[in-house]
Amino acid sequence: MSIAVRRLLNHLPHLPGRDSRIRMRNVRDAQRASFMESSGYRTFSADRYERSLRRRRAVRGMLYWLGAVGAAWVVLESARAVQIF
Task: For residue 22, name the pLDDT band (cuts at 50, 70, 90).
Answer: low
Q: Residue 13 pLDDT > 90, yes or no?
A: no
Q: How many CB atoms lie within 10 A of CB 42?
A: 12
Q: Looking at residues 40-48, what average pLDDT do you find? A: 68
Q: What average pLDDT does this structure show over 23-44? A: 66
Supply the pTM of this predicted model.
0.43
Number of domains within the chain = 1
Residue 15 pLDDT > 80, yes or no?
Answer: no
The residue type of 59 is V
- Cβ within 8 Å of residue 36, ≥6 positions away: 42
Which helix H or strand E contains 35, and what residues bound it?
helix 30-38
Residue 77 has pLDDT above 90, yes or no: yes
Structural domain span for residue 13? 3-84
Total residues found in the chain within this entry: 85
